Structure 1
Amino acid sequence: MSYRPKLIATDLDGTICPHAAPISKRTIATLTHAHEMGVKVFFVTGRPPRWMGQIKEAFNFGQAICSNGGLLWDLQNEKVIEEWRITPADLKETVTRLRKSIPDVHFAFENHGDFTREKKYEARWDIGVDNTGVDDILDYIGNGAIKLLVRGSDKL
């Protein structure tokens, strides 16, 4: 009797997605074969759904746990299956505590296709998404967020 897993969950960046290189044909073939055998495939990542194009192009099946666990994304249909939002109260408490504890810290947050950042938050990956920024992230947390991002100075 041969063993077959019921589920494969894999990280993306630095695991099946090498930095500055495409996903290997072998990886694509292996996960595709597993999917065709009935194994559920989950891609697990800190990426927001808008960054999942390379994965959809390579696989076009499976589901992704995106935004560090903030939501479950249907890759093929490009829609949210389930989400676990950070409440406005929790965002406020977290931001307030971090500002009090760590000097020169700045914030951004993710929502469905929306990236909101403070002006002093240096976006390293989402270059050009929001060039303006906002003065205080707390003024924009009314609907909560899928993911909170925090950056401090390089001296931290």
Structure 2
Amino acid sequence: MSDWKPRLIATDMDGTLLRGNDTVSDATVAELERWRAEGVPVVLATGRPPRWMVRIREVLRYGTAVCCNGAVLLDLAGFEVLEEDALEPEVLQEVTAELRRQQPDTWFAVEYGLEFRHEPVYQPRWDVDAPGVAVATLEEMVAAPVAKLLARHETLPRDEFVALVERVVGDTATVTNSSTDALAEISARGVTKATGIAKVAAEHGVGPEDVVVFGDMPNDIAAFDWVREGGGRAVAMAHAHPDLLAAATDVTGTNEDDGVAAFLSSL
């Protein structure tokens, strides 16, 4: 595959494209612009909701972003939600009730795309006082469709809690995680970064064999599997979660070392 070149570049943001201070290096921006100039689309594929895409939009400016782990497609140029695969109230109510029954100290929050609601006891780690962020009761949060349900536990180990959520949810929805905390991210059934990237790739007439995807956390595994099984390149950061490293075709440097840019320049 020494002469292989992608026809579409998809990359995670936190821990992958972004450095620890939430910025993108000039070298990385220049490398992405070089590929764009050659007609290769760059797709951001992230667990972030659209409301967390404002700053990156100032850097990359255009293209489609796959947000909320595949549930939302966002046009960066117009900052417009193009498509949303939502979790329906029936599933939300069933999942939250059973999780609360099995682990009473589980607390919930929901993403509506541009809005965020959380229970009073739920402790957000970011954007605590940002516009669109508000406290709500669980009953209020599960009464309407949401882009993503967040379940958090303050004392259980991450892997133990995520495994519990996976058992409770079963095949009624999709569970993943992208945090070092005991935080499970729940999307509609079958919705992953892979489904979101595949939609954008199809619009460009590109299949998985012509895609390179970068990531560092378990919420990237579905995209890695889709690309790897299709003949493309799944590139893990050097510091990636062990489960993601096991799904990778390649490994590059860390996000602090501009690993994405280094791999792309090697092509």
Offset of 1:112 from its aligned partner? 2.7
The one-character-per-residue Cα deviations of 1:9-35 (angstroms, maximum 9, x if unpaired) are 001001110111521111101111111
Q: Does structure 2 conserve the Cα–Cα contact (< 8 Å) formed by 1:116 and 1:133?
A: yes
Q: Aligned Cα RMSD in Å?
A: 1.8
The one-character-per-residue Cα deviations of 1:20-66 (angstroms, maximum 9, x if unpaired) are 15211111011111112111211011111111122111111221111
Q: Does structure 2 conserve the Cα–Cα contact (< 8 Å) formed by 1:108 and 1:149?
A: yes
Which structure has greater helix proportion? Answer: 2
Corresponding residue for 1:95? Answer: 96
The one-character-per-residue Cα deviations of 1:53-92 (angstroms, maximum 9, x if unpaired) are 2211111122111112210111111001111100111111
Measured at CA, do residues 14 and 82 of structure 1 come closer, stay the same or move farther in structure 2, by a change above 3 Å?
A: same
Distance between the aligned counterparts of 1:25 and 1:31, measured in 2?
Answer: 10
What is the total number of aligned residue pairs between the two structures?
154
Corresponding residue for 1:22? Answer: 23
Distance between the aligned counterparts of 1:68 and 1:88, measured in 2?
Answer: 19
1:113-124 superposed matches below 5 A: 113-124=114-125
Offset of 1:115 from its aligned partner? 0.7
Gapped regions of structure 2 (runs ≥ 5): 158-267
Offset of 1:126 from its aligned partner? 2.1
Offset of 1:3 from its aligned partner? 4.2
Write out the 4+ residue segments of structure 1 that deviate beyond 6 Å after TM superposition.
none
Corresponding residue for 1:71? Answer: 72
Q: Could you say what secondary structure the match of 1:68 adopts?
A: helix
Corresponding residue for 2:135? Answer: 133
Letter of the structure 1 residue corresponding to residue 55 of structure 2: Q
Distance between the aligned counterparts of 1:20 and 1:50, measured in 2?
Answer: 18
Distance between the aligned counterparts of 1:116 and 1:147, measured in 2?
Answer: 11
Q: Could you say what secondary structure the match of 1:100 adopts?
A: helix
Gapped regions of structure 1 (runs ≥ 5): none
Give me the TM-score of the superposition, normalised by structure 1: 0.90
Give me the TM-score of the superposition, normalised by structure 2: 0.54
Q: Could you say what secondary structure the match of 1:30 adopts?
A: helix
Distance between the aligned counterparts of 1:155 and 1:141, measured in 2?
Answer: 24
Q: Is 1:47 matched with 2:48?
A: yes
Q: Could you say what secondary structure the match of 1:32 adopts?
A: helix
Q: Could you say what secondary structure the match of 2:66 adopts?
A: strand
Letter of the structure 2 residue corresponding to residue 9 of structure 1: A
Structure number with the bigger relative contact order (C-alpha 8 A, sep ≥ 6) is 2
